[in-house]
Structure 1
Amino acid sequence: MTPSLASLAGLLRRIPGRAEKLAPEPPEENVLQSGEALLRRKRNKVAIFAILFGLVSAAIDLPLPAEDAYRAVRAQLRSRPAPPDIVMVTVDDATLNELGKELPSRSDDSALVDRLVAAGVDKIVFDRAHADPETPASDATFERMLERHKGKVWLGMTPSYQIKFQKIDRILPLERFRQHAAMASMTGFASPFSLSVVFPTSVDIDGTTYPSISAALAGYDGSSLRYRPDFAFNPWTIPTYSYVDVLKGRVPASKLRGRSVIIGRSFFESSDFLVMPLKGRVPGSYFHVIGAQTLKSGVPTDLYWFPAMLIVVMAIGSYTLGRSRSARPLWFAAVGLPLLAFPLDEVRFNIDIMPAMLALGFAGIGFHRIAKKYYSSDVDAMTTSALSLDKGSAALDVYALRIANLAEMSEEWSPRELGEFVNSLITYIKGPGEAGDVAFERDSLVWLAPRMDKVSLERHADGLALMLKTAISYDWQSASSTPAIGIDTNYSLPLGQRIKKAMQAADEAANRGVRFIINDAAYVEARNYRLEIMRVLEKGLRERKIGVAYQPKIDLATGRIVGAETLIRWKPDGQDFVNPQELVLAAEASDRINELTMIVMEAALVDGREAIALDPGFKLAINMSAKSLSDTHLLFDMMTMLGRIGFPAENLTLELTETAKLEDKLIAPQISALNARGIGLSIDDFGTGQSNLEYLEKLPSSELKIDKKFVQHMATSEESHAVVRATIEIAHSLGKVVVAEGVETEAVADQLRAMGCDQAQGFLFSQAIAMPELLIMMGGKRIVVNA
């Protein structure tokens, strides 16, 4: 039965060491929620500034041009013909040409009105004030006409008003005309860039209220208000006739009967033109007609920016207070508000959406920047930036979990599957309820948890790693994804630095194949030591000065020195000996083991020529990583070096050891080349790592070396004694020479001699010595051992 994530989380609660955590210090008790609190504070700040920005922009009409432009677009999409009940009679260029005047006279206007009344027109409105006298005769004619048609004619007028620092005086018809005609305001207010117009339904002069031209044409008698004409009415569909055609009777009465008429100007040089968005230059009188049609279809209600801003505040608040980083509320508002304006236009409700959209855009940019900085782009999880508060955290341990092979797994998985995997681990880590926020960075999870003493922390980390491995293996069928945990306990450092150190520890744990590493004082000391080893190695490789010594190999039957193993014995700058094993590990970690091997080999081959001069059968052994056999360049350099130094290839033995499995197809050609040149191969440290029976098959060696841990325990362990005996028998059956390492007592030497072991080396015979000392020993021909 496959255990579920929940069941594994239950097991985690019983990991040894969880109960022994240290009590958090009071000043630090809220740090576990630092990530969520940080994001909440930043979201709140963005939300407040976004809403304030929207309110201020609404108060100063900052987005008014954009509002007008969008309103014009909506009007264009709703475009419809204007009803035919209001007719435009325009003083156009044809009129001026036919009359031969700059403008029609009042006598012409009088004749025109008589013609319109005779045709049965309901009302006539002049988009002109008739404020200045003409000739006495024409003014008298016009006055008599107004008296005859009293109640049917409206004359234009303009009250005084202020535009910024400019005062506009009022314009009224002549007093004699006002006694017989009504007045209607010609005033309208264009927005910046003339993208929209606002008309009042009435104006007040000296305590008397007068309708606007649009209100007079529409017969509006409601409350006084300002409104925007509905630009959905197409001005070019308004019934329009030339002034001169009506004056000359060329327009049938049926086209005019029962309709209202506005008399305005549209000749080319007239200043009474405004730009209607998407329609071009339109004579001002047409706007009055559109305004009248707007009032007749229903008085518009202007809700201003309040509804849209309320919706956006709710959307921003929903996102700010929510735990998810999904911007769905913001997108709903961003798409919904522009669409909502269309049906509201149809029912004569106007809303201004641009201040709200500005607030929404400000919030969206701010939230996006927060998400980009504090959230992972791959999964729904925070990044370590959300945890990195620049203060100490003495009450907390910092954990980092690295998932090996996550990059390879993500190539096979979809983004959704990867997100589910990471979020399941986050749920699992937070399951017991003691971990704080869990952040995701590259291939690592980082979180904070209450501090533990070291013993409890080690037990907890080991159990946690095992449980996570079980969860990954069972729930995700991925046995290759091994978790590695890094924990930082440098409580005096800022949290941001501790997170980096925990991640570094997790990376090193993954590289070293261990379940966890605790970044404490001991770890720092060891790491500094490794860094120093790396520095020393780099210096030695650069200067090509790596000291070597030689441990003799003794023929157990005769006591003769038959060869020696080359070992690193180096005092950098005349200081203490460097640990050769640490030096080799550092070279392997930095991928410079081949370079180290060649430097050691060069020194050994130069020295080895002297030993061969004493004994032509002397075998010089040099350690080499079996993995290096796949490097054809290294082997070529080695062959070149043998020729340059003049060292016989048949006197060289390569002692091969490895902790990883080898690929036959990669090493077979190189082994054949070595055998062809007479270079001997020895399997070093047999019985450890991968140096086992499989190596006997893959590496056609001439020699086998039994690891010293078996040799040194021969006198006290029957198992070790049996292993050594069996190894000697197997090796001899395969025709190989057997060398025992680590011989330190005569009793062990006697046992090996009795088993038929061929050669031995160890402190019983000699430690590693310089070549001059080895030559002196070789001159003695035989090693004498005191029992």
Structure 2
Amino acid sequence: MTGFLRRGLVRARGNRAVLLEENALNSGAGLLRRKRLKVAIFAILFGLVSAAIDLPLPAEDFYRAVRAELRSRPAPQDVAMIAIDDKTLNAFNRSMPSRTDDSRLIDALIEAGVKKIVFDRAHADPENPKADAMFADTLARHDGKVWLGIAPKHNIGFQVVEEIVPLPAFREHARLAAMNGMGSPFRLSVVFPTSVVLDGEKHPSLSAALAGYNGPDRSFRPDYSFDLDSIPTISYIDVLEGKFSPDKIKGASVVVGKAYYESADYYLMPLRDGKIPGAYFHIMGAHTLKRGVPLDLMWIPALLVVAVTVVSQSRARGRSVQTLTIAAAGLFAAPLLLDEFGINIDVMSGLLALLFAAIGFQRLSKKYYSSEVDAMTTSALNVENVNEDLDVYALKIANLAEMSEDWSARELGEFVNTLITYVKGPGEAGDVAFERDSLVWLAPRMDTVSLERHADGLALMLKTAISHDWQSASSTPAIGIDTNHAFPLGQRIKKAMQAADEAAVRGARFIINDAAYLEARNQRLEIMRVLEKGLRERNIGVAYQPKIDLATGSIVGAETLIRWKPEGDDFVNPQELVLAAEATDRINELTLIVMEAALVDGRRAIAIDPGFKLAVNMSAKSLSDTHLLFDMMTMLGRIGFPAENLTLELTETAKLEDKLIAPQIAALKQRGIGLSIDDFGTGQSNLEYLEKLPSSELKIDKKFVQHMASSDESKAVVRATIEIAHSLGKIVVAEGVEDQAMADALRAMGCDQAQGFLFSRAITMSELIGMMGGRRIAISI
């Protein structure tokens, strides 16, 4: 038997664990993780596509130039530029130097001690036999010291560029170097090969020739950190005319290239003005190769970092994008360090992917997280699901707006997250969402008794926690629970929040929104509809319950009660009608309509007995409403009802504010209107009311009167109340007198007046006047 029970317990725990696991998969956190993972995948794909099509290449080139500017350094002096500049063209009447001029240039440079001459020109076309022969002879005399430019056949888009090579006579004694490079869109950067193959033979690029590079075949970007202004530059014409210092280029390598303004051989460098002649890029390429061939890892490392980061962020619970920010900062900073080691990584595709992910995560956060605190909203819960295994809870924090007026956003977040911790502590609550001033969560279904016990204990614990941890005794948590398991979750969340709102208004610790509650709520909605119609048509019916002088048996007054058949069916419950009016803030309007009907009827009773006192119920809170009191005074004058014949029976469930009601009480006393404390001994109608309200009358609640026969405590309360009231000069009225024994006991205690079914039910004014004609009620005196 014990083994059977143990196996059953294990199965039950296993089933509950499975349930909790399923709930976790369908939870708000699970939903967010799935949506974030989608964002992460799309961000990675976006980064891959942008890298594949070189979408961010202009930005990449610009950032490389920025990094180069930050690392700017003087260029080594072992490579010089012989510039065919505008000064040279002007000397030749705007014509390019001839082969004869090039021969003279070579001789002058070799004489100055130059060890290597590289032409950024191919010398591919014949000029004239004499000049060509002279140039060939010069090359032969300086065999191995001169490189002429070549460009193998290649494609630029759909355009085929045929090969460019020097004349055969020149190739016998000159070395060949590739002039070609690949420019990026907008000509913001260039990539050079270290070598090319022409007719089956490998030849170095101009940069490789200048640097003396003999390593593996690679493509590379020149390092732009070398200061162009520091590169030794001599005008072509100055060399021919001997107007230069040979020491400036002695032992150096030189490149002869175009540098005049109208030349098409130029590129742009971000952060620098004007056109940069292509030969300067070959010089920067030579210095780059001398330091070591750069390792170009392209966009792969950046996108790997981004992939790890966004996938990791997609699994995070909070809405912070700090991880993405750190990753972005790292991508910006890493190339600065790697550039120094000749390692290039392209980061713009990764940054675009991070930006895509950040925007996507931010949109999800805006939709699924509260704007005030770092907590999910109810949108994060799977609101379309129907889950019969879960109850829906809503916790409303009354006065949260007032409590948090002086709080920072961090303090408000701490408060809410503390409550979330408490909510999750005692049970098996799933994700807790925050919406306005309420927390919403799901928890495994319970039977009614267990649910009520759990809700009551949770409410008490939260109230204690708020009072202790946040020193707020005024904020009372109210819990709403929806158990309509067949409804969609979104609808149930709204119902739970409505139940929590109602619990807060009614001062209840919790309300369970089940079938019985729904029926009661529908009844309340119907009451509100009926009330609205009655207020609009001003036809709310009243009746009167006589007040009897216990000493004489005479009718000395009556209490006005709502007795109304709004649609000709059954009487509406007066208490529910008043509660509906208070809930919709229409209580003052209801009071005035009831009072108007009573004052019109009451004039007939006064005509028979000028001392007749007509009582009308009014919320003590209404004493602070000066507009209501003004309307009441105006009504008395318009109807012609004597103010001294009107008594206001004040009821309240909340404490009064002395400063708010003192002027109005003074005005009522000045007009002669009497005040009565109704339902004394219940709610807030206690000894404190006797002090704050200068009333002329006190009414003992019927529950004490009706329990006198069975409870010595109730009898003692009634006796003490009568004695206190008389010592203060007040008339005492007992409510709910239903038999002669009660009346006799009250008379013996000295109670002044009584009302109840022993004397009369609530009746019309005509019936009351008929009773007044008898002058006395048939009771034993």
- Residue of structure 2 aligned with 1:157, choices 150, 159, 165: 150
Q: Say which of 584, 609, 613 aligns to 2:603.
A: 609
Kept in 1: contact 2:294–2:343 (CA 8 A)? yes
Match of 1:15 in 2: none
* Cα distance in 2 between the residues matched to 1:37 and 1:371: 14
**What residue is the counterpart of 1:394 in the other structure?**
388
* CA gap 1:489/1:734 in 2 versus in 1, 3 angstroms: same
SS of the residue corresponding to residue 567 of structure 1 reads strand
The residue aligned with 1:189 is 182
**SS of residue matched to 1:214:** helix
- 2:508 is aligned to 514
Distance in 1 between residues matched to 2:268 and 2:386, nearest whole Å? 65
Call closer, same or farther: CA 1:585–1:321 in 2, change over 3 Å. Answer: closer
Q: Is the alpha carbon distance of 1:159 and 1:43 closer, same or farther for their aligned partners in structure 2, counting shifts above 3 Å?
A: same
Q: Is the 8 A contact 1:21 1:451 kept in 2?
A: no
1:118-157 → structure 2 map (5 Å cutoff): 118-157=111-150
Q: Which moved more, 1:325-334 or 1:359-368?
A: 325-334
- Alpha-carbon contact 1:31-1:393 (below 8 Å) kept: no
Q: 1:30 aligns with which of 5, 15, 22?
A: 22
1:589 maps to what in 2? 583
Match of 1:167 among 137, 160, 163: 160
Structure-2 residue corresponding to 1:437: 431
1:23 positional shift:
6.8
Post-superposition offset of 1:723: 2.3
1:572 to partner: Cα distance: 0.7
Q: Sort the Cα spacing of 1:418 and 1:250 in 2 relative to 1 into closer, same or farther, 3 A.
A: same
1:495 is displaced (CA, Å) by 1.4
Say whether the 8 Å CA contact 2:696–2:729 is kept in structure 1.
Answer: yes
What displacement does 1:167 show?
0.6
| Structure 2 match to 1:554 | 548
Q: Match of 1:465?
A: 459
Q: Is the 8 A contact 2:193 2:217 kept in 1?
A: yes
- Aligned partner letter, 1:367: F
**Is 1:630–1:667's contact at 8 Å kept on the other side of the alignment?**
yes
Asked if residue 337 in structure 1 is aligned to residue 331 in structure 2, the reply is: yes
Q: Give the structure, 1 or 2, with the largest relative contact order (CA under 8 Å, sep 6 or more).
A: 1
Residue of structure 2 equivalent to 1:314: 308
Structure 2 vs 1, CA of residues 75 and 771 (structure 1 numbering), >3 Å: closer, same or farther?
Answer: same
Matches within 5 A, 1:111-122: 111-122=104-115
Q: How does 1:316-465 map to 2 (within 5 A)?
A: 316-432=310-426, 434-465=428-459
Q: Report the 3-state secondary structure (helix = DSSP H, G, I; strand = E; otherwise coil) of the residue aligned with 1:150.
A: coil
Mapped to 2, the partners of 1:28 and 1:546 lie a distance apart of 54
Output one character per residue of 1:362-417: Cα deviation in whole Å (capped at 9) or x when no partner: 22222222233333344443322222341111011111222333333333444444
What's 2:61 paired with? 68
Which whole-Å deviations, capped at 9, do the CAs of 1:504-554 have from their partners, x for residues lacking one? 212211221111110001111111111111111111111111111111112
The question of 1:653 aligning with 2:647 is answered: yes
Distance 2:365 2:774 in 1: 79
**2:227 matches 1:234:** yes
Asked if 2 retains the 8 angstrom alpha-carbon contact of 1:28 and 1:393, the reply is no
CA distance in 2, matches of 1:175, 1:338: 51
1:722-776 Cα shifts (integer Å, max 9, x gaps): 2222222222222222222112112222222233322221111111111111122
Of 76, 88, 91, the match for 1:83:
76
- Maintained 8 Å contact 1:21/1:453: no
Contact 2:395 2:480 in 1 (8 A): yes
Alignment size in residue pairs: 769
Q: Give the secondary-structure state (helix, strand or coil) at the position aligned to 1:574.
A: coil
Structure 2: gaps (5+ residues): 1-10
Determine the structure 2 residue equivalent to 1:257. Answer: 250
CA positional deviation for 1:146: 1.6
Deviation at 1:21, TM superposition (A): 11
**Paired residues of 2:527 and 2:577 also in contact (CA < 8 A):** yes
Aligned-residue identity in percent: 73
Q: In the alignment, what sits opposite 1:3?
A: none
- Is the CA contact 2:318–2:375 (under 8 Å) kept in the aligned structure 1? no
Partner in structure 1 of residue 5 of structure 2: none
**1-structure distance, mates of 2:427, 2:764:** 62
1:472 CA displacement = 3.3
* Candidates 711, 718, 722, aligned match of 1:728: 722
Alignment match, 2:524: 530
Equivalents in 2 of 1:21, 1:59: separation in Å?
53
Going from structure 1 to structure 2, the CA distance change for 1:155 and 1:236 (only over 3 Å counts) comes to same
1:566 to 560, 567, 582: 560
Distance 2:559 2:14 in 1: 53
Q: Determine the structure 1 residue equivalent to 2:7.
A: none
What is the TM-score of this pair, normalised by structure 1? 0.94
Contact 1:376–1:382 (CA under 8 A) maintained in structure 2? yes
Q: Is 1:212–2:191 an aligned residue pair?
A: no
Contact 2:189 2:267 in 1 (8 A): no
- Aligned counterparts of 1:691 and 1:474: Cα–Cα separation in 2: 29
2:482 maps to 488
Q: Which moved more, 1:637-646 or 1:682-691?
A: 682-691
Question: Contact between 1:22 and 1:451, CA under 8 Å: does it hold in 2?
Answer: no
- Secondary structure of the equivalent of 2:675? strand
Of 29, 46, 55 in structure 2, the residue corresponding to residue 53 of structure 1 is 46
Residue deviations 1:678-714 (CA, integer Å, cap 9, x gap):
1111121122222222222222222222221122222
TM score, norm. by length of structure 2: 0.94
**Alignment-derived partner of residue 259 in structure 2:** 266
Taking a change above 3 Å as real, the CA distance of residues 433 and 562 of structure 1, as seen in their structure-2 partners, is closer
1:657-668 paired onto structure 2 within 5 Å: 657-668=651-662
Letter in 1 for 2:457: G
Change (3 A) 1:430 1:650: closer
Task: Verify: 1:201 aligned to 2:194, yes or no.
Answer: yes
Distance change >3 Å, CA 282–CA 675, structure 1 → 2: same
Residue number in structure 1 paired with 2:8: none
Tell whether 2:677 aligns with 1:671: no
Q: For the structure 1 residues 763 and 432, does the alpha-carbon distance in structure 2 shift closer, same or farther, using more than 3 Å as the test?
A: closer
User: Where do 5+ consecutive residues of structure 1 fail to align?
Assistant: 1-18
Aligned partners of 1:674, 1:68: CA distance in 2, in Å?
85
The answer to whether the Cα contact below 8 Å between 1:302 and 1:350 also exists between their aligned partners in 2 is: yes
* 8 Å Cα contact 2:31/2:382 also seen in 1: no
- Distance across 1 between alignment mates of 2:440 and 2:538: 43
> Matched residues in 1 for 2:12 and 2:139: separation?
105
Counterpart-to-counterpart distance in 1, 2:425 and 2:17:
23
Counterparts of 2:245 and 2:680 in 1: how far apart (Å)? 120
Q: Deviations over 1:593-633 (max 9, x none)?
A: 11111111111111111111122221111111122112222
Report the 3-state secondary structure (helix = DSSP H, G, I; strand = E; otherwise coil) of the residue aligned with 1:30: helix
1:640-719 aligned at under 5 Å gives the runs 640-719=634-713
Counterpart residue number, 1:580: 574
Change (3 A) 1:101 1:661: closer
Q: Is the alpha carbon distance of 1:414 and 1:646 closer, same or farther for their aligned partners in structure 2, counting shifts above 3 Å?
A: same
Task: Check 1:20–1:339 CA distance in 2 against 1; reply closer, same or farther (3 A cut).
Answer: closer
- 8 Å CA contact retained: 1:703, 1:737: yes
Distance 1:755 1:301 in 2: 108
Residue identity matched to 2:194: T
Contact 1:20 1:452 in 2 (8 A): no
What amino acid sits opposite 1:55 in the alignment?
Answer: L
Q: Aligned with 2:330: secondary structure?
A: helix
Tell whether the 8 Å contact from 1:23 to 1:395 is kept in structure 2 after alignment: no
